[in-house]
Structure 1
Amino acid sequence: MKETPVDAIPDIGELQVLVYADWPGRSPQDIEDQVIYPLTTGLMGTPRVKVVRSTSAFGFGLVNMIFADGTDFYWARTRVLERLDFARKDVPKDATITLGPDATALGQIFWYTVEGDGYNLAELRSMQDWYVRYQLTAVDGVSEVASVGGYVKQYQIDIDPNKLIAHDVKIHHVIDAVQKSNIDVGAKVFEEGGAEFIVRGIGFIKNVSDIENIVIGEKEGVPIYVKNIATVIIGPEFRRGALDKEGKEVTGGVVLMRYGENPLKVIERIKQKIEELSVGLPEGVKIVPFYDRTGLIQRSINTLKTALIQEIIITIFVILVFLLHFWGSVVISLVLPIGILIAFIFMRQFGVDANIMSLGGIAIAIGVMVDSGCVLVENIYRRLVTRRKELNVEKLPTEERLNTCVEGAQEVGKPVLFALLTTIIGFIPVFVLTGQAGKLFRPLAFTKTFTMAAAAIIALALLPTLCYYFLRGKLKQVEENRTAQVLFKGYNPLIRWSIKHKGIVVLISIGVIIIGLLCGALMKQEFMPPLNEGDLLFMPVLLPGASLTQVMDVMKKQDIIIKNEFPEVEWVVGKLGRAETATDPAPVGMIETIIHLKDKKFWRRGMTREKLIQEIQEKTKMPGVSPIMTQPIRNRIDMLATGIQTPVGIKVFGPDLNKIVEIATQIEKIVGKVDGAVSPYAERTSSRPYFEIEIDREKAARHGIKVGDIQHIIMTAIGGMNLTTTVEGRERYPVRIRYMRELRDTPEALNRVFIPAAGGEYIPLAQIAELKQVPGPAVINSENTLTYARVFINVDQSKVGLVDFVKDAQRAVDSEIKSGDIKLPSGYFISWSGQFESEMESRKKLIPS
């Protein structure tokens, strides 16, 4: 029981393997064309793959390979690794391709911040990256620890191109000099005085001065240093994510649990490790958790534990009232604890985790478990009373008592066994469910079957023995039982009346059936009732093109509003962009704010969770920001399983990204009018501002300039490039080269970037290329190589069930398509996605067509 893995809900996410591609500075279009599309086509032949979903964003790409049910997790990873060698042959050499962590959608079990007064974000991030992160990664059961927020320390060489020209130095000379000036070497050994001395050449960069004094060349006997043509400073590396706590920027990390581990045990080990680490942290620095799944797991399990205990107490009381024999009640009640313990043994052997569904299976089996004990014990009890009366003795001889108990058990043994078997057989259809439905309900079916099997074993093997020893003393016939007499007096006239008025009874029965059918037809339909996780996940999404600074400003304002204006909120931490892990593909324009709520006794009178969500969305409304409210676990499951962060979503497939975004925007307006829709939002992924430099090959050729040389200047001087990495003890920091900010941060400055020509002269970039502002993709999503745009829809499930909402929304959209208001060209189609897919899949399995 203690060794059984415990979680809040079953891991109902798809079995997936993530392939992560890192290519810093590249646009989503370049990532898609040169990295993700070749990877996707190369990986699609992997055995047992159900669907290949991919995302191309700024600087990185992600291929999400979803495997068929029943596939072994590590077998799937091995197959992907084998296929990856073949798939990466067409990928650029400087793109880094790695396999994602061996974690699932429920793997993010622990988030924390690293805080300390008197320390800046760069210092805190260094502590996180080089001390905290690796120590937590070493914890048993942890797959990965990803950093988020703060600033990564970087040595920045900001070149003045005018000084390059004055000293007649090319940028590639600077790159070559820096790369060759950061290395320690070994020269084997020499002997002296009978001892060996290991020879080392010390040359690693240690500080800014070392970089400034790197020699690039010489002119007329005078050395040209880096400091002569550039300014060297320590600054923050380019980042795509940030973390905010109640309006103050912080740094932190997220812990991902390895597949198949016990969440409670892993979180306990993480907390123990944090206590150990705290001693070694600088004074004033502390690790502060802000998302911990322990509370949710404990609440879920405690709710069911309480229900189980209450059921056992009520059952014992009812048996005692009806049987009026204390030890008989005890014998029957023993079925419950022993049966539950046997069920846990089976759970351990079959790999079934303890969660709200599996324990729910035990809870609903309690009534049937007791029935078997009641029937068997009551029959033995009756036989003992009758035998005593026949022999006219107060106490039966030992042999006679034993025979009576055996005969009583044999008399009802077969009916009891077959009654339990019919109940077990009733759950067989649940075992054939697949997908999320199977993963959700199979634990319940397993544990109910285990408890029923345990009840059968106990009833047939243990209870007769216990009856032999404990059914003693004053035994009354059932007819003499006062409780039975009272019930009989009430039941006798009722059954007589029913027999005399058969027609009325039949009509009442038919009426009940009709009312039941009507209620069933009107009942809300959903796949899984929403689990109250305790914490909320607020996900405002800004339009593409919003800068990190702008998104950070929005996040800080919203976090301050949520913390200061809602007394129900204990604390709030927001993340924009992505943590440095393959499991987090969020763009900069997406905010994920975890809102931790106080205990309900501290809430305002009359406040409900639904009202609080509505108030938060109202108070945090901002132009150009679309709010999505969900929960942390639900979001991860939906996002990685279907590519949709909300319970319902629509995917518009087609070859032209602009067209599918246009159709998605039209659908957003239509769905917004459907009853139950909350904040529908269509991704505007095709309207991010791009600044393109299109090289005129003929003009470049007249000056003897190669296209590759121009692209190299664009990539290094304008975009910046990490040339090498310093080694400072255990810490590693990049060294970056780039033009000075004021010479590259406006269109006018980019026009004047000089390109060295073959004759030694310098040509402005505007003379050999066209520089223009154009719209382009912010992110490119595809499924089995088909690009799609998404519409996210939250549903007010207090008004309408998910399945009912999807039916209404589908009717509304289909009506607009038929009327011609929405035009789907050839090659374009719409797909509905989300939780309801699992509901429909389970219906197909359970209800014959």
Structure 2
Amino acid sequence: MKDENKALETRSILDKIILFFLQNKLIVLLFIVGTLLWGGMVAPFDWKLGGLPRNPVPVDAIPDIGENQQIVFTKWPGRSPQDVEDQVTYPLTVALLGVPGVKTVRSYSMFGFSTIYVIFKEKVEFYWSRTRILEKLNSLPGGSLPDGVKPMLGPDSTALGQIFWYTLEGRDKNGNPTGGWDLQELRSAQDWIVKYALLSADGVSEVGSIGGFVKEYQIDVDPDAMRAYGVTLMDVYKAVKNSNIDVGARSIEINRVEYVVRGIGFVKSVKDLENTVIKSVENVPIYVKNIGHVAIGPALRRGALDKEGAEAVGGVVVVRYGDNPLRVIKNIKKKIAEIAPGLPRKTLKDGTVSQITVVPFYDRTGLIYETLGTLNTALTEEILITIIIVLIMAMHFRSSLLISGLLPLAVLMAFIAMKVFKVDANVVALSGIAIAIGTMVDMGIVVVENVLKHLDEADPSESRLAVVYRGTSEVGGAVLTAVSTTVVGFLPVFTMTAAEGKLFKPLAFTKTFALVASIIVALVVLPALAELFVAAKMKRKYNHRVLSVLTILAGILVMAKISIFTGFVLVLLGTLPFVENKLPETLRKHKPWLVNGLAALLVAAFLAHHWMPLGPERGDVVNMVFVVLLIGGILGFFQVFQWLYPSILRWALHHRALFRSIPLAIVLFGGLVWFGFNGYFGWLPNTVKSWKPVSRIAHAFPGLGKEFMPPLDEGSYLYMPTTSTHASIGEALDMLQKQDMLFQQIPEVETAVGKLGRADTPLDPAPISMVETVINYRPKFIVDKSGRLLTFKYDKNSEDLFRDADGNLLSAPDGKPYRVKGEFVRDAKGRLIPEESGMPFRQWRSPLIPDLNPGREAWEGINSPDDIWKEITAAGKLPGSTSAPKLQPISARIVMLQSGMRAPMGIKVKGPTLDAIEKVGLTIEKLLKQVPSIKSDTVIADRIVGKPYLEIQINREAIARYGVSIQDVQNVIEVAVGGKSITRTVEGRERYPIRVRYYRDLRNSIEALSSVLIPARSGAQVPLTQVADIVYVRGPQVIKSEDTFLVGYVIFDKKANVAEVNVVEQADRFLKDKIKSGELMLPAGVSYTFTGSYENQVRASKRLSIVLPLALFIIFLILYFQFKSTSTTLLVFSGILVAWAGGFLMLWLYGQGWFMDF
């Protein structure tokens, strides 16, 4: 007993913790059960857990890395951008610059509205900043803004919150499009039914409408009739306004009953407006219908929506800041299902019942599920690979199962920590867990291996608990130190700010959670379970036999239902204990190899089915053979290395100088990869650099490119060209419709929906020359909602013409169908037949093989999203439209939030006047097209001063002669030409404006405008040309500014395989050279700066240059406290440099086409 107590002596707090849980295994078991339940409840994946309630970690595709910003939106209908800039945007910008915590203020002044982005510092709380802005807006001095102009705070969201776009369409009960609804009917249904229903869904911040026509009561007056009746425009305006009013007269009591008294006077119909009395002459009323025409028509619009070449009506749903996008989208769909039966319906002439239906065309759910599915698959594959390695390398079946089985437990613990610490699940955060898996399993391997070693060496009479405790405590400190150094290694990531902090901090958090979980599992859970299942001696053999029988039954079931091979391996594993004594002696000696090898083969089958490294077209068998050879080759290499290690070590110790050259060479080669040949040997003379061998080396090692983040395949593109600034909405819409029809003809494109101008939301400040087309392309193979491949019945020995999923023939670039090897079997209706052992169905066009298509040229087919983008850009080339940078919906919003531009890179040109800015911008555009790393067709400078204006310049002397004021003339111009909204009807829940202006024929040309009548004080009607001049001028379509300074943009995109920072650095050097040579002249007061997502990389690099040495120093101290020796610490610490260089070397190898290209 004393010996056992002595063996259980503790020397540190860590030892006490290990011993406590070893002696209290029930707590460990309860902890495991609790973790499994809680982890399953909060896991971000869509797991079906029966009746277990789910409260998953909030999920999105990527982190919201946009600026901390608020939007101030101000409407001033009919006003030019210059008026809006001078009288609204500028005074508001000046006021908002004084709000606490403001970093910068970015503004856009457009026709009829102003949008101001107030960018706050990152530490400013979101809703606190909204409160400060409201305080500032409410405290503006009187006269700061024009009368009637009221700025409003935008929704509590960001542009990245646009998670759900939809159209309203007439469809029958089977979901087939029917038509039968005009654009005004659809827009009314959107504005007054669908919009408010979706706005009531929990988590929705705003619903913006787009497309169609807003219903409007239009009074078109005849100036000749008005002159004949002696009526002015202002008389009509006042009469209509006074005819649309209800009043309340409290109540009266009649026969002890209270009656509420109402005066009913709201306009309900066109007839009510026609019979409105303007004035009475000799007791004869003059009605509105006497001097004009009243009708219902479309209001002025500054945006349109097109779907596959036809105008459409739709909306965009914006999620509230900080809410769970996946949960909100589910709420939206639930609300759509609730209102669907009650949406308007009508019977068409052919008897078809058509009902308005909400049809999504951009739903982030798909991307979220595919992202989660991809990460779920990646985590599964990593775990499977880890299990294979543990099985082969440990060669102890029970301990291998123990280590492998507890790896998912650590992952669930990381999910729990994400929920507790409010870290959202996205592609970056979950990647942190994936990165940590290797280190996580290392902890378990070290502990279990040491425990097994102590069990082998221990006296059989010694307490198994004491042996397990001794084996665990011996390596516990080293394991804790190893994890601590890894966690500290991520310290620089925790110090990041702005976009880079929002992007990478979740990864640092989740990896830290996973590593801490691995420590808890390795030092708390594993020892207790090892003492139960590994160290304990089995006293009864029938336990093994029961387990074997269950394994055989499971194998038979798997053979019948899932996989013959997998089931066969399970049956073989289950049979082995029964025939063990009958096996030859040589086989019995190698039983651990046989058992673990069969188990590893089984896991490899699952891995091959999940991974499909050679592609699903090769089938499970070929992929499994490849997986076995690949992993077997790698493990074989390490096994051979392990066998030869003593000899290698002896040689290294006897040849120290020669051996040291190996890590030195790795460090030098890694530096060459990182800095590039010119970074190392830039000092060489040009004559030496021009030698062919030297130039080839320089070309092979250009240095690693610098880029903020790799692109995420969102499954859709956002095509954003611009039209000419002088194009009307009709002309721009015609171009948009042609483009959408061309996009829809691309076989890989599923839907193409284009937006012109702006949606009815402050988050979308777009002029009518700005086009946004959401192009959803099909996945390469048919998949379910989680991104898992679906398989269909396939005859590999046949041939067929290439078809889509519906059986329609698809053509190669020469416009003709083509034959491919193999044929998918279809049912009588031409549909694909699902089959577990079948093949995935390819939706992208396969390569054209001349052997199967004699006389035709070979074609590589569509093999990547880049190939689809090339098809899109080729189809989108139309006269009057620019090209577009390569953007995707989410990444585009991030870019626009950060820089205000619609491209990942660009130049901001600041200057005193719009003309000077435009001139410099056009010169820079011409020069940037010469930069080798820039795609020349994506270089687009703002055409700022290109919008045609008709200016009515009032002659003050002339109006003085007629006794007319400036205000009198302006009122007539505003009402007669532009049309002014007088009042709004109240029709139940719906509200529609009433507008008055001249007939179209009397206001759509200069000649017609010249005849607009101005009432003089004498009662006469004076033509406009008598008091004003009408001239053509050029003006701005949009005025952009930052911190009150005018700005213009020159956007561009990089060529493939070139990093963003390198492109900007090259372009910057090029422009500076042009300034020195005099080709680029900057006028006084004009300057330019590069901007874009590359700034995040530059800022992060500067911060890392300070924080990284600090982290390395802390790691050095941790190692020193572990080893208590400076020389040993330096020796271990030197491995960081070699590992770093090895990382750069692997990056270079991964970029080579011949390296692991499968």
Task: After TM superposition, give the deviation of residue 88 of structure 1 in Å.
Answer: 6.9
The residue that corresponds to 2:156 in the other structure is 102
Is the 2:464–2:535 contact (alpha carbons within 8 Å) kept by the matching residues of 1? no
Task: After TM superposition, give the deviation of residue 480 of structure 1 in Å.
Answer: 13
Is the 1:576–1:588 contact (alpha carbons within 8 Å) kept by the matching residues of 2? yes
Q: Which amino acid aligns with 2:895?
A: D
Task: After TM superposition, give the deviation of residue 481 of structure 1 in Å.
Answer: 8.5
In structure 2, how many angstroms separate the alpha carbons of the residues matched to 1:378 and 1:422?
22
Q: Which amino acid aligns with 1:70?
A: K
In structure 2, how many angstroms separate the alpha carbons of the residues matched to 1:200 and 1:410?
87
TM-score (ref. length: structure 1): 0.96
Task: After TM superposition, give the deviation of residue 780 of structure 1 in Å.
Answer: 0.5
SS in 1 for 2:753: strand
Is the 2:216–2:296 contact (alpha carbons within 8 Å) kept by the matching residues of 1? yes
Structure 1 segment 490-505 matched on structure 2, within 5 A? 490-505=644-659
Task: After TM superposition, give the deviation of residue 502 of structure 1 in Å.
Answer: 4.1
The residue that corresponds to 1:539 in the other structure is 720
Q: CA deviation digits over 1:306-338, x for unaligned, max 9?
A: 111111122122212222222212332344222
Q: 1:841 aligns with which of 1085, 1099, 1109?
A: 1099
The residue that corresponds to 2:4 in the other structure is none
Compare CA radii of gyration and give the structure with the larger one.
Answer: 2
In structure 2, how many angstroms separate the alpha carbons of the residues matched to 1:791 and 1:287?
38
SS in 1 for 2:136: helix
Task: After TM superposition, give the deviation of residue 380 of structure 1 in Å.
Answer: 1.4
Structure 1 segment 679-694 matched on structure 2, within 5 A? 679-694=938-953
The residue that corresponds to 1:61 in the other structure is 114
Q: CA deviation digits over 1:276-312, x for unaligned, max 9?
A: 1110012322110000011111111111111111111
Report whether the alignment pairs 1:401 with 2:464: yes
SS in 2 for 1:112: strand
Is the 2:976–2:998 contact (alpha carbons within 8 Å) kept by the matching residues of 1? yes
The residue that corresponds to 2:87 in the other structure is 34
The residue that corresponds to 2:276 in the other structure is 214
Report whether the alignment pairs 1:640 with 2:897: yes
Is the 1:335–1:459 contact (alpha carbons within 8 Å) kept by the matching residues of 2? no
In structure 2, how many angstroms separate the alpha carbons of the residues matched to 1:299 and 1:758?
72
Q: 1:710 aligns with which of 969, 990, 1005?
A: 969
SS in 2 for 1:101: coil
The residue that corresponds to 2:31 in the other structure is none
The residue that corresponds to 2:1065 in the other structure is 807
In structure 2, how many angstroms separate the alpha carbons of the residues matched to 1:646 and 1:88?
38
In structure 1, how many angstroms separate the alpha carbons of the residues matched to 2:427 and 2:188?
40
Task: After TM superposition, give the deviation of residue 220 of structure 1 in Å.
Answer: 1.8
Is the 2:396–2:592 contact (alpha carbons within 8 Å) kept by the matching residues of 1? no
Q: Percent identity?
A: 49
Is the 2:464–2:536 contact (alpha carbons within 8 Å) kept by the matching residues of 1? no
Is the 1:48–1:68 contact (alpha carbons within 8 Å) kept by the matching residues of 2? yes
Task: After TM superposition, give the deviation of residue 767 of structure 1 in Å.
Answer: 1.5
The residue that corresponds to 1:584 in the other structure is 764
Report how many aligned residue pairs link the two structures: 837
Report whether the alignment pairs 1:45 with 2:98: yes
SS in 1 for 2:114: strand
Is the 1:57–1:778 contact (alpha carbons within 8 Å) kept by the matching residues of 2? yes
Q: CA deviation digits over 1:223-264, x for unaligned, max 9?
A: 000000110011000000000001100100000000111111
The residue that corresponds to 1:511 in the other structure is 665
Structure 1 segment 180-219 matched on structure 2, within 5 A? 180-219=242-281
SS in 1 for 2:1053: strand
SS in 2 for 1:677: coil
Is the 2:898–2:1093 contact (alpha carbons within 8 Å) kept by the matching residues of 1? no
Q: 2:877 aligns with which of 604, 621, 642?
A: 621
Is the 2:399–2:448 contact (alpha carbons within 8 Å) kept by the matching residues of 1? yes
Task: After TM superposition, give the deviation of residue 376 of structure 1 in Å.
Answer: 1.2
In structure 2, how many angstroms separate the alpha carbons of the residues matched to 1:335 and 1:474?
22
In structure 1, how many angstroms separate the alpha carbons of the residues matched to 2:141 and 2:484?
54
Task: After TM superposition, give the deviation of residue 671 of structure 1 in Å.
Answer: 1.1
The residue that corresponds to 2:313 in the other structure is 251
Per residue, is there more strand in 1 or in 2? 1
Report whether the alignment pairs 1:665 with 2:922: yes
Q: 2:473 aligns with which of 387, 407, 410?
A: 410
Q: CA deviation digits over 1:161-215, x for unaligned, max 9?
A: 1111111111111111101111111111111121111111111101100000000
The residue that corresponds to 1:313 in the other structure is 384
Answer with 409-418 or 419-428: which moved more: 409-418
Q: Which amino acid aligns with 2:237?
A: I
Is the 1:110–1:291 contact (alpha carbons within 8 Å) kept by the matching residues of 2? yes
Is the 1:106–1:636 contact (alpha carbons within 8 Å) kept by the matching residues of 2? yes
Q: CA deviation digits over 1:491-534, x for unaligned, max 9?
A: 33333444444444333433332322222232222110011111
Q: Which amino acid aligns with 2:218?
A: Q
The residue that corresponds to 1:550 in the other structure is 731
In structure 2, how many angstroms separate the alpha carbons of the residues matched to 1:289 and 1:802?
34
SS in 2 for 1:625: coil
Q: Which amino acid aligns with 1:621?
A: K
The residue that corresponds to 1:378 in the other structure is 449
Structure 1 segment 733-812 matched on structure 2, within 5 A? 733-796=992-1055, 798-812=1056-1070
Q: Which amino acid aligns with 2:647?
A: P
Is the 1:18–1:65 contact (alpha carbons within 8 Å) kept by the matching residues of 2? yes
Q: Which amino acid aligns with 1:401?
A: R
The residue that corresponds to 1:322 in the other structure is 393
Task: After TM superposition, give the deviation of residue 404 of structure 1 in Å.
Answer: 1.5
The residue that corresponds to 1:150 in the other structure is 212
Q: CA deviation digits over 1:656-694, x for unaligned, max 9?
A: 101101101111111112123231100101111111011
Is the 2:306–2:736 contact (alpha carbons within 8 Å) kept by the matching residues of 1? yes
The residue that corresponds to 2:573 in the other structure is none
Task: After TM superposition, give the deviation of residue 19 of structure 1 in Å.
Answer: 0.4
Is the 1:724–1:734 contact (alpha carbons within 8 Å) kept by the matching residues of 2? yes
The one of the two structures with greater contact order (alpha-carbon pairs below 8 A, sep at least 6) is 1
Report whether the alignment pairs 1:24 with 2:61: no
In structure 1, how many angstroms separate the alpha carbons of the residues matched to 2:641 and 2:732?
70
In structure 2, how many angstroms separate the alpha carbons of the residues matched to 1:584 and 1:156?
28
The residue that corresponds to 1:527 in the other structure is 708
Answer with 236-245 or 1-10: which moved more: 1-10
In structure 2, how many angstroms separate the alpha carbons of the residues matched to 1:105 and 1:699?
50
In structure 2, how many angstroms separate the alpha carbons of the residues matched to 1:263 and 1:594?
19
Q: Decide whether aligned partners of structure 1 residues 690 and 502 sit closer, same or farther in structure 2, where only a CA change above 3 A counts.
A: same
The residue that corresponds to 2:630 in the other structure is none
In structure 1, how many angstroms separate the alpha carbons of the residues matched to 2:372 and 2:645?
40
Is the 2:455–2:535 contact (alpha carbons within 8 Å) kept by the matching residues of 1? no
SS in 1 for 2:159: coil
In structure 2, how many angstroms separate the alpha carbons of the residues matched to 1:166 and 1:819?
70
The residue that corresponds to 1:832 in the other structure is 1090
Q: Which amino acid aligns with 1:292?
A: D
SS in 2 for 1:7: coil
Q: Which amino acid aligns with 1:316?
A: I
TM-score (ref. length: structure 2): 0.71
Structure 1 segment 147-546 matched on structure 2, within 5 A? 147-283=209-345, 284=354, 285-387=356-458, 391=459, 393=460, 396=461, 400-472=463-535, 488-521=642-675, 522-546=703-727
Report whether the alignment pairs 1:7 with 2:60: yes
Report whether the alignment pairs 1:597 with 2:777: yes
The residue that corresponds to 1:562 in the other structure is 743
Is the 2:71–2:115 contact (alpha carbons within 8 Å) kept by the matching residues of 1? yes
In structure 1, how many angstroms separate the alpha carbons of the residues matched to 2:640 and 2:740?
64
SS in 2 for 1:687: strand
- The gaps in structure 1 that reach 5 residues or longer are none
Q: Which amino acid aligns with 1:831?
A: T
Is the 1:676–1:799 contact (alpha carbons within 8 Å) kept by the matching residues of 2? no
Q: Which amino acid aligns with 1:247?
A: G
Q: Which amino acid aligns with 1:618?
A: A
Is the 1:720–1:737 contact (alpha carbons within 8 Å) kept by the matching residues of 2? yes
SS in 2 for 1:103: coil
SS in 1 for 2:945: coil
Q: Which amino acid aligns with 1:668?
A: E
In structure 2, how many angstroms separate the alpha carbons of the residues matched to 1:485 and 1:838?
44
Q: CA deviation digits over 1:594-635, x for unaligned, max 9?
A: 111012121122213223222322232123311213111111
